[in-house]
Structure formats: C-alpha cells, structure tokens
A = this chain, B = another copy of it.
Amino acid sequence: MLLSKSTEYGIRATLYLTSLKQEGYVSIRDISDELDISFHFLTKIFQKLTQADLLQSFRGPRGGVALARPADQITLLDLVTAIDGPALFTECVLGLPGCGERKPCPLHEAWGPERDNLKALFENATLASMAADLETFDLRLKILHL
C-alpha cells in the first residue's frame, strides 16, 4: 500500500472540502457523513492537518474546518507529509537505513528517479487543480453503491 488509510481519507476529505467552495467553516460531521468515513477518525486526521497549518478549525455552532490558505497553495504532498510523514520520499525502498549515494542498495539507482517522479506528482497536484478536475471530469471521492 502506497498511502496509509489516514492519508487516503485525509486527501479525499480535504478535496471534498475544497470542492464545496464554502465561505465559512464546514463541519467534520458533514464531510464524514458524505464520504462514509468514521467521524472520530477523520477528526483526528484533520487535527494533524490543522496542526500542520494546512487547515483552520473553529469550535462551536457554525464551526468546522476550512482551508488555511488558498487552494492553489496547498499540494497533495503537503497532505501526505503532514499525515504519513516524509518517509516515502526519503527512505530506502528496501528499508535500509541511510538511503543515499554513499552506500546505495541494489534498487537505489532505479528507485531514486522513480521516487522523485512520485514526489513531483504529489507536489504538482494542488487542491485547486484537483477540485477543478473533479468538476470537469465528474470524478469520484466516495465509494459508489451501483
């Protein structure tokens, strides 16, 4: 699995939040209901994103969460690293400590560039661009019961 469940949920939920284009705060309950994600679990994930200054939160009636900056200034890489940490983009694919040129593992030469591609993929995907695609191509963020 490339991303943890937490990160999968975090991306889907933040993307949905973005797509609402709502002025004020959106309640976590609304988001968790809409995407069929456990409310309390999602709350914890959003707490991480709030602590990483990617989201703002507000308690009480009319409270909820909102993007902390414009949607074109938050990337999926921001979300992934805030939730799962940077390991995917820095660590040895074989789990050996100290990935680098000095004493590389047999996969380093092939994995290094691939890892950079992957990082670029997440870095180039802003919440704004993703939300635009979402509308344009009618993409899905939730499981479908067909």
Report yes or no: B93 in contact with A140, Cβ–Cβ below 8 A. Answer: no
Report yes or no: A106 in contact with B94, Cβ–Cβ below 8 A. Answer: no
Report yes or no: A139 in contact with B106, Cβ–Cβ below 8 A. Answer: yes
1/0 per residue, CB under 8 A from B, across A56-94: the answer is 000000000000000000001000000000011000011
Each complex incorporates copies of this chain amounting to 2
Q: Say whether, besides A88-B2, A106-B139, A95 and B8 are in contact (CB < 8 Å).
A: yes
Report yes or no: A121 in contact with B125, Cβ–Cβ below 8 A. Answer: no
Q: How far is the CA of A105 from the CA of B111 in the complex (A)?
A: 25
Q: Say whether, besides A8-B95, A114-B117, A143-B96, A106 and B3 are in contact (CB < 8 Å).
A: no
Q: How far is the CA of A125 from the CA of B105 in the complex (A)?
A: 13
Report yes or no: A121 in contact with B114, Cβ–Cβ below 8 A. Answer: yes
**Across-interface contacts of A88 in B (CB, < 8 A):** 1-2
Report yes or no: A121 in contact with B130, Cβ–Cβ below 8 A. Answer: no
**Sample of 21 A–B contacts (CB below 8 Å):** A2-B88, A3-B93, A3-B94, A3-B95, A5-B95, A8-B93, A8-B95, A11-B107, A94-B141, A96-B142, A97-B143, A103-B139, A103-B144, A105-B141, A106-B130, A106-B133, A106-B139, A106-B141, A107-B125, A109-B133, A110-B121
